[in-house]
Structure 1
Amino acid sequence: MVLIDLHCHLLPGVDDGSPDLATSLKLAQDAVNDGVTHALLTPHHMNGHYLNHKADVLQLTADFQQALKEKEIPLTVFPGQEVRINGELLEALRKDDILFADEGGRYMLLEFPSQEVPQYAKEMVFKLRQQGIVPIIVHPERNAELLEHPERLQPFLEQGCLTQLTSSSYLGRFGKKIEKVTTSMIKAGQGAIFASDAHALSHREYELSEALQKLRDEFGAELADTYEQNARDIINGDQVNLDWQPLPKKKRFWFF
């Protein structure tokens, strides 16, 4: 069985993920133990703290694959980036400094700032869509603004964006509120895939299989299979569609 993790920070020493090769190899073994066969390595890029240029990530990924081979860890890795939305993104695309989830340049992992959704985000997504790029909004359930107002994700879904939910969020590792919002997004069809977002940090462990099993138990095997197939389709550059609905509006209570 092929199980793909499309968002993880296994490359050593490049961001806030793994600090060194030994830790990276341990995380890779953890991934294999969890059933993961393929992983897209997605260091932070252009987030104000880290720059991981395309050429560097390509070389580092090849080096890490060789280290995995030498340690006989059966994990196939691919080069990627977790791209922070920013005003220089279109220029970075023009300079060919962006890595996608697929070799064809269709799917981009796009991160919002942790506390908010930028005012220019919809315009930027529009420009990306004009170029045939499908943004995959990573961990929207952990964005502070979307956590309080999850309905604000809807305009991006209307633009054709996909979403990546974090397996640990669904399992409640970040608290009940994030678990509840994640579940509501799943119920409304607003999730496309699970990913680990694995770091060498607490609550960032490999729990893809556990999350998928919970999904099977709570929503049925067909949806869990769809999440797994969507990950395969994304890395192959194939079409992925969401059959989503708006989230239920919060009830308002009036006091007279």
Structure 2
Amino acid sequence: MIDIHNHLLVGVDDGPSHDDEMMSLLKQAKEQGITGIVLTPHHLHPRFKSNHFENIVQKITQLKQREDIKQLGIELYPGQEIRLNGQIYEDIEKGRICGINSSQYLLIELPSNELPHYTKSCIYRLQTMGYIPIIVHPERNKVIAKDINLLFELINGGALSQITASSLTGVLGKKIQTTSIRMIEHNLIHFIASDAHHVKTRPFRLAELFKTRELRCLEEEIEYLLNNNKEMINNKVIKTKRPIKYIKKKHLGLF
């Protein structure tokens, strides 16, 4: 398995604060059967300093030289979780932002409590610049969770999306799990990732996807979404299914 979204680098955002914590996360990934990890620290997030792509590549190069990491046999790839705002375009032009593993794919993070009015125009402009934006954890955006047709509109406009494993397994609550499953059923999700931060509080949970009772009927779909992770880091075209608009069922009343 390949994980395309997590926070493993030490001291750059809300991930590990020291080296031992990072190593514990890497060992946990190994135990889960993860063979490749895209390191995606926050970039342009209001709470954290900017993490330029070149700096991430340098940090990964240093990590790959360590014997303890070599022994794990996990391949490391550079990436970013980019907060949606108007600075994206300048940072792309100046090389501060680059696609996952230098591909055409960008991980785009929305604010948790809103869907900015410029979201659609940003998605469109990024595509004109040669990139394919991937909306990360849309199920955790409060506005989209209330109306998944807002995600349908973004996907219909050319974006892709990535769901969090913890959302699917129910760790983040039954409501988020139900919303996540519904998004998959309506062909609105294209990747699954861990968004791992810490071994105990926000761990890797990819292996649990195949042990969760509520997900048994989706195992084939989950395999497909996880395989897309591999396709994406190799800059392959992701074969998507036509997104389906959600129609809320009407309950018949008694007369």
Same topology, TM > 0.5: yes
- Amino acid corresponding to residue 210 of structure 1 in structure 2: E
> 1: CA distance between counterparts of 2:10 and 2:139?
26
Distance 1:49 1:20, change over 3 A: same
Deviation per residue, 1:136-175 (Å, 9 max, x gap): 1100001111111111111110121111110000001111
Displacement of 1:213: 5.2
Q: 1:42 to 1:219 in 2, by over 3 A?
A: same
Aligned Cα RMSD in Å?
A: 2.1
Superposition TM-score, scaled by structure 1 size: 0.91
**Distance (Å, rounded) in 1 between the aligned partners of 2:173 and 2:32:** 22
Paired amino acid for 1:87: G
Is the partner of 2:135 in helix, strand or coil?
A: strand
Alignment partner of 1:76 is 2:79: no
Query: In structure 2, do the counterparts of structure 1 residues 173 and 220 end up closer, same or farther at CA, with 3 Å as the change threshold?
Result: closer
Indicate the SS of the match to 2:37: strand
Is contact 1:185-1:247 (8 Å) kept? no
CA distance in 2, matches of 1:68, 1:191: 37
> Share of identical aligned residues, percent?
33
Matches of 1:245 and 1:60 in 2, distance apart?
Answer: 38
Deviations 1:25-62 (A, max 9, x none): 10000001000000000000001122111221111111
Distance 2:33 2:130 in 1: 32
Q: Which ranges of structure 1 fall in alignment gaps of 5 or more residues? A: none
**Aligned counterpart in structure 1 of residue 28 of structure 2, from 13, 27, 30:** 30
SS in 2 for 1:8: coil
Aligned residue-pair number? 252
Instruction: Give the superposition deviation at 1:177.
Output: 0.8
Relative to the length of structure 2, the TM-score reads: 0.92
Q: 1:238 aligns with which of 231, 236, 239?
A: 236
Given the superposition, is the C-alpha separation of residues 53 and 113 from structure 1 closer, same or farther in structure 2, using an over 3 Å criterion?
same
Deviation at 1:67, TM superposition (A): 3.1
For residue 251 of structure 1, report the CA deviation from its aligned partner: 4.2
How far did 1:126 drift? 0.7
Work out whether residues 196 and 208 of structure 1, in 8 Å CA contact, stay in contact via their aligned partners in 2. yes
Conserved in 1, the CA contact under 8 Å of 2:195 and 2:202? yes
Q: Which runs of 5+ in 2 are unaligned?
A: none
Equivalent residue for 2:177, pick from 165, 179, 186: 179
The residue that corresponds to 2:122 in the other structure is 124
Instruction: Give distance in 1, aligned partners of 2:153 and 2:201.
Output: 30
